[in-house]
A and B are shown apart, each in its own frame.
Chain A
Amino acid sequence: MDDSYIRDVLNGDTGAFRFLVGKYKNRAYNLARSLVRSDLIAEEATQDAFVQAFKNLRKFKGKAAFSTWFYRIVVNESLKKNRKKKLQFVGISESEIGETIPDIYSHAIEPFHEEEQRELIEQVLEKLKETEALLLKLFYLEEKKIDEIVEITGLTPSNCKVILFRARKKFAEYYRLKVNQ
């Protein structure tokens, strides 16, 4: 589906890019938001990412999914915005692997309204480090595999797995605390 629109854009139909903007704007915004932690800056980063994607569309060879290629741009643009904070992708020790992740669904949030649920999960995600929140979203929301996450973030596969494991664990803990509050 994306491919035909990309071909149209490359053939000079700039308007076809609107389809890609419509399809990926919220996903890209959510990823950017994990990294920059600000609605306004996340929106700017998303806009810039789309413009960069358009300018560099000829470089997209279709080896990976368009989303993987585009999310890499979103991450780069977010990191650019975030440079002042000197965000770093920090690896952690392998020893953390093997711990169990608490079951989270037993602390259901169903009694909350939709908006409250969203805010609650947003608050929990904000408790995590930027990279952790980003990896959780890439893995669970975007259903990206580890090798795709590696391509998007530039992390090593083992780092990805470790950070993802830690993120799940922290998310479950913070979430349980929030729901019980």
Chain B
Amino acid sequence: MNTQPQNNDDQFKILLTKGMSEIPDTNFENKVMDKIIFAAQHEAEHKKSIRLSWMFLSLSTLFFPMGILFFLQKLNLNFSDIFGRNLGNTQQFIVPAVVLLFSILLLLQVDNLVRLTLRTRYS
């Protein structure tokens, strides 16, 4: 004969324990661990990509203006050679335009990268 539990709370606990079912899939743990290992690898790669993005952004910030200035100097020389006259006015127009475009592009990239970095860090 069964000993009757002390109170209703005990009765509920006993009954609900009897009603507990186990996960049918015996391979559940391995499946979850596979997903977790994949997630961990993905996260590590994601962080690495962000670090590389920052590095290339820094390098391009440094070298792109230098390259443009160098190119414009060369361009100016070539135009002078071709047309036989100084294109100083054209260069005066092109440089600010390039600087403006580059600044906008740079700000957009920095903004995106900061958002991505923060989201990765705090998500």
**A and B interact:** yes
Residues of A at under 8 Å CB distance from B?
Answer: 14-15, 17-18, 21-22, 25-26, 29-30, 33, 39, 43, 46-47, 50-51, 54-56, 101, 103-105, 108-110, 114, 117-118, 120-122, 124-125, 136-137, 140-141, 168, 171, 175
In the bound complex, do residue A117 and residue B23 qualify as a contact, i.e. CB atoms below 8 Å apart?
A: no
B97, CB-defined interface residue at 8 Å: no
Report the minimal beta-carbon distance from A106 to chain B, rounded to whole angstroms.
8
B22, CB-defined interface residue at 8 Å: yes
Distance of A175 Cα from B22 Cα, bound (Å): 21
Query: In the complex, which residues of chain A have a beta carbon less than 8 angstroms from the beta carbon of B35?
Result: 47, 50-51
Distance of A79 Cα from B74 Cα, bound (Å): 64
Give the total number of A-B pairs whose CB atoms are below 8 A apart: 99
Query: In the complex, which residues of chain B have a beta carbon less than 8 angstroms from the beta carbon of A54?
Result: 36, 39-40
Query: In the complex, which residues of chain A have a beta carbon less than 8 angstroms from the beta carbon of B31?
Result: 47
B88, CB-defined interface residue at 8 Å: no
Residues of B at under 8 Å CB distance from A?
Answer: 2, 4-5, 8-9, 11-25, 28-29, 31-33, 35-37, 39-40, 43, 123
| CB within 8 Å for A109 and B18 given contacts A14-B36, A46-B23, A168-B8 | yes
In the bound complex, do residue A136 and residue B16 qualify as a contact, i.e. CB atoms below 8 Å apart?
A: yes
In the bound complex, do residue A29 and residue B23 qualify as a contact, i.e. CB atoms below 8 Å apart?
A: yes
Selected contact of A105 from candidates B4, B21, B123, CB within 8 Å: B4
Distance of A175 Cα from B33 Cα, bound (Å): 38
Can you name the residue of chain A whose Cβ is closest to the Cβ of B42? Answer: A55
Which of B12, B13, B25, B40 has the largest number of chain A CB atoms within 10 A?
B12
Can you name the residue of chain A whose Cβ is closest to the Cβ of B38? Answer: A51
In the bound complex, do residue B13 and residue A17 qualify as a contact, i.e. CB atoms below 8 Å apart?
A: no
Selected contact of A43 from candidates B5, B11, B19, B23, CB within 8 Å: B23
Query: In the complex, which residues of chain B have a beta carbon less than 8 angstroms from the beta carbon of A15?
Result: 33
Distance of A136 Cα from B29 Cα, bound (Å): 26
Distance of A121 Cα from B15 Cα, bound (Å): 7
| CB within 8 Å for A118 and B19 given contacts A17-B33, A136-B12, A168-B8 | yes
Query: In the complex, which residues of chain A have a beta carbon less than 8 angstroms from the beta carbon of B18?
Result: 109, 114, 117-118, 121
Query: In the complex, which residues of chain B have a beta carbon less than 8 angstroms from the beta carbon of A101?
Result: 8
Distance of A103 Cα from B4 Cα, bound (Å): 11
In the bound complex, do residue B23 and residue A26 qualify as a contact, i.e. CB atoms below 8 Å apart?
A: yes
Report the minimal beta-carbon distance from A109 to chain B, rounded to whole angstroms.
7
In the bound complex, do residue B28 and residue A47 qualify as a contact, i.e. CB atoms below 8 Å apart?
A: yes
In the bound complex, do residue A22 and residue B29 qualify as a contact, i.e. CB atoms below 8 Å apart?
A: yes
| 8 A-B interface contacts by CB (under 8 A) | A26-B20, A29-B21, A47-B28, A51-B39, A54-B36, A54-B39, A122-B21, A125-B19
In the bound complex, do residue B5 and residue A105 qualify as a contact, i.e. CB atoms below 8 Å apart?
A: yes
